[in-house]
C-alpha cells in the first residue's frame, strides 16, 4: 500500500508547506521518508534543484514559506509533489486564492508537468478558467453524485439545469 501511495501525489489547496522548514527542507522531506522510491536516482540536492527549476523557483530554495507569495507557495507545493515522480497527481483547488493571471499560470504549469512527466492529473476545482485549461474530460458533481461527464465545451453547451448552473 505504501508503494502505491508513493505513485500518487497530492497538491493541497493550502499548499501544506511546513512553515518551520526552508523551501529546500520542505522538498527534501518526502525524499527522506521514501529514499527507495527513486533508487539509483536518489540525489537530494539534484532532485530539489530540478523540482524547483520545473516550477520556475530555483531562486527561492533557501526561503521560508512566510516569505513566499500565494502563487509561489502553490508552485513550491507542486515541486514537493513532483519530487517523488508520481504517476497520478491530485490537485485540490490549485488556483484558489490566486489572482486570475497567477491562476492561469498555475493551470498551464499543471499541463506542462503532465506532459513532461507523463502524469495523470485529477483536478478538483470551482474555477472555470482552470477547468477549461487543464481538462480533457470533466465530471460535474450534483447532490454528491457524478451527474454529467464530457469535455468542457460539450458541458458548457449542455442545457440541463444543474449543468447549466455550473457555467452561469
Return d(Cα 131, Cα 101) in angstroms, integer.
15
Residues 96-123 have pLDDT tens digits of 988 999 899 999 999 999 999 999 999 9
Return d(Cα 60, Cα 64) in angstroms, integer.
8
Note whether 134 and 110 are within 8 A (CB). Answer: yes
Residues 131-147 have pLDDT tens digits of 999 999 999 999 999 99
CA dihedral 36, 34, 87, 2 (to 10 degrees): 100
Return d(Cα 44, Cα 35) in angstroms, integer.
9
Q: If you average pLDDT over residues 44-67, what whole number do you get? A: 93
Q: Is residue 38 scored above 70 in pLDDT?
A: no
Query: What's the pTM?
Result: 0.84
What is the predicted pLDDT for the residue at 2? Answer: 75
Amino acid at each position: 500500500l505504501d508503494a502505491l501511495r508513493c505513485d500518487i501525489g497530492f497538491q493541497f489547496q493550502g499548499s501544506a508547506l511546513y512553515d518551520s522548514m526552508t523551501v529546500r527542507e520542505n522538498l527534501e522531506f518526502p525524499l527522506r521518508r521514501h529514499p527507495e522510491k527513486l533508487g539509483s536516482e536518489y540525489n537530494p540536492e539534484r532532485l530539489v534543484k530540478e523540482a524547483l527549476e520545473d516550477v520556475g523557483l530555483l531562486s527561492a530554495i533557501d526561503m521560508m514559506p512566510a516569505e513566499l507569495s500565494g502563487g509561489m507557495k502553490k508552485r513550491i507545493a507542486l515541486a514537493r509533489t513532483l519530487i517523488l515522480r508520481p504517476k497520478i497527481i491530485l490537485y485540490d483547488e490549485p488556483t484558489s486564492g490566486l489572482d486570475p493571471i497567477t491562476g492561469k499560470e498555475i493551470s498551464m504549469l499543471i499541463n506542462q508537468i503532465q506532459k513532461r512527466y507523463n502524469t495523470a492529473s485529477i483536478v478538483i476545482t470551482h474555477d472555470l478558467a482552470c477547468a477549461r485549461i487543464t481538462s480533457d474530460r470533466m465530471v460535474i458533481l450534483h447532490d454528491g453524485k457524478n451527474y454529467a461527464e464530457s469535455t468542457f465545451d460539450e458541458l458548457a453547451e449542455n442545457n440541463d439545469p444543474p449543468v447549466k448552473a455550473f457555467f452561469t
